[in-house]
Each structure stands twice: as structure tokens, then as C-alpha cells.
Amino acid sequence: MSAARQSSILKDSSLLQDIRRDWMLYAMLLPAVIWFAVFMYQPMAGLQIAFKQYSVFKGMQGSPWVGFDHFVTLFQSDFFWRAILNTLMISFYSLVLASPVPIILALMINEVQSTGFRKTVQTAVYLPHFVSFVIVAGIVIALLSPGNGLVNNALEALGLDRTYFLTRPEWFRTIYIGSSIWKEAGFDSIIYLAAIMGINPALYESAQIDGATRWQMITRITLPSILPTIAVLFVIRLGNVLEVGYEYIILLYQPTTYDTADVISTYIYRVGIQGARYDIAAAAGVFNAVVALILVLVANKLSRHFTRTGVF
């Protein structure tokens, strides 16, 4: 018997022994495995629609293969490239502007000495996360209403003209990113706060004995200590760079703001669901997934090179 065969038999035997010993843990894991298999992996069979001239009446198996024709159609569409550009722009601004906010917020909360005040602040900044995007969109629309919106009332009081911001393409990204930061920054700071809580207190005590200021402790101890966490979350964010939340955008955008608001997800929604071109939408989804995979692999490799930390 070959050495490879013997090694395989030993591994199988070891796995069976592990299952017998920890069967309760495996039983607890089983529902999650079944959920992923049914709702995440099984639907992947539908990706073949991207390579077929899909017909609802013929079904997935009866529809003829067309190869990469749908991808060619996508790449020849100006609206698709506009959606890609808008997605990348919104994601880039979110990475640059939104990513540092939870870190800064976590550092500020960590510096609060009063326990009661800290809990109050944490509760206040966490609450928006649990508010539905539908409600957030309603708040934004009400605040920016040209008729009696608070923002326009303030502009009029200052002697400026009222503006319907949600019909102005140049304002859409600012509104979207600003309201998203307000909604999610507090909740995202939980991870960084947990990382800060894991720092050895002896490091701060030693620095204090050496006469370090609070700012020096933050820059020399806190930030370097949570850098691996920052790197991992950055890799995850970069992997979702093409996954801009379309639900919120659909609630805010309109045809006059398509130039800056239409992203890949909303393009897929309009073409695939409203236009009933499921094959074109599937092709766009496959393209989206492939680009996201490449970005995750590259970002993870760079993270491991510079911080020795990665997602995998």
C-alpha cells in the first residue's frame, strides 16, 4: 500500500474519531451547514443562465447556450459602464470617508472616563443601525424636502435659494455616504472597541510611568495594536466594493440622478427584474462576483505582506 493511501486512511479514521467524540458540536453545526448548502451553494446552479438565452417557458435546462454573448452585450452598453463607474466612485468615497469614522469613534469612546456617560454615548451611536433603511430614506427625504424640509428652511433663513437636493446628481453621493455613515458608524465601532479592550493594560501602565501623554498612547499603543483588525475589515470591505446597498439607493434615486446614482445592483434590478432580462442580469452578477473575488485575493495578499494578517 502506498504512503499516500495510508495517509488518506489515517485522516479518514481521525475524522471519524473526532465526529464520534464531539458529535454534539457537529450536530450544532449541521443546521448552519444545511442553510449554506440550500441557500448559498445550491442557487449557484442558476449561474448557467448567464451563458444561455434564457426563457421562462423553456426553463433553465431547455434554454439554448449562447456562450459569452450576454457579457459582450454588457460590455457594449454605456449604461453598464456608467453603473460600474458609479459603484466604484461610491465605494471609493465610502472607503476613504466612512472607514475611518468607526475607528475614530471607537478611540473617542474608549477615552471617556465616566462609565455612565460612555454607555449613554454608545447607546446613542448604536441605535441608528437598527433603524430600517426605509425609515432612514424617509428621514432624509423629509429633511431635504424643498417645501418644508429643515435643511431648505435653514437655507432660506440664510438668504439662499431652496434646492431639491435629491434631484441634483452632484448631491446624491454626498447624501448617500453621509446618511450611511450616520446609520452604521456607531455599530461598526463595536469591533474596534472589542479589539481595544483586548490590548494588554500593562502597555498603558508602562507608557504612563514613562510620562507618555494620552495622544502618544493612542498613536504608539492603541492604533498599532488594532492594526490587524483594521486590515482584516479593510479586506472584507474591499471584497464588497461592488456590493453597494441597492435597497437604500432605490429608495433615494430617480431618473434625474441616474448619472451618479445608478450602480451595478440597481442596473441588475432594472434590467433583470423590471425588464425581465434574467440572462443579462445573471451575466452582470457573475462579472460582479469575479471582480469581487479578485479584489479580495489581492487585498488579502497585500494585507498579509504589510501586516502579516489576512482573512485567510
Residue 159: the pLDDT is 85
Q: Is the separation of the CB atoms in 193 and 175 below 8 Å?
A: no
Matching residue, cell 442553510: 35
Q: Which triple of cell numbers denotes residue 175? A: 447624501
Question: What residue ranges do the domains of the chain occupy?
Answer: 1-31, 54-136+163-307
Nearest alpha-carbon partner for 48 in 283, 288, 290:
283
Nearest alpha-carbon partner for 127 in 41, 68, 63, 185:
185
Q: Which triple of cell numbers denotes residue 200? A: 494588554
User: So what CATH class is 54-136+163-307?
Assistant: mainly alpha
**Contact residues for 3 (Cβ-Cβ < 8 A; gap 6+):** none
Residue 13: the pLDDT is 66
Measured CA to CA in angstroms, residue 278 lies from 52, 242, 291 at distances of 10, 19, 20
CA dist., res. 154 & res. 152, Å (int): 5
Residue 35: the pLDDT is 92
**Contact residues for 277 (Cβ-Cβ < 8 A; gap 6+):** 271
Nearest alpha-carbon partner for 126 in 66, 190, 71, 62:
190
Three-state secondary-structure class, residue 113? coil
Mean pLDDT by runs of 10 across the 312 residues of the chain is 52 73 87 89 83 82 85 87 88 86 90 85 88 90 87 87 87 90 89 89 87 87 88 78 78 87 85 81 83 78 70 65
Q: Which triple of cell numbers denotes residue 104? A: 475614530
Residue 34: the pLDDT is 93
**Contact residues for 238 (Cβ-Cβ < 8 A; gap 6+):** 95, 295, 296, 299
CA dist., res. 92 & res. 13, Å (int): 49
Nearest alpha-carbon partner for 98 in 298, 195, 241:
241
Q: Work out whether the CA dihedral 184, 300, 293, 311 comes out positive or negative.
A: negative
CA dist., res. 28 & res. 51, Å (int): 38
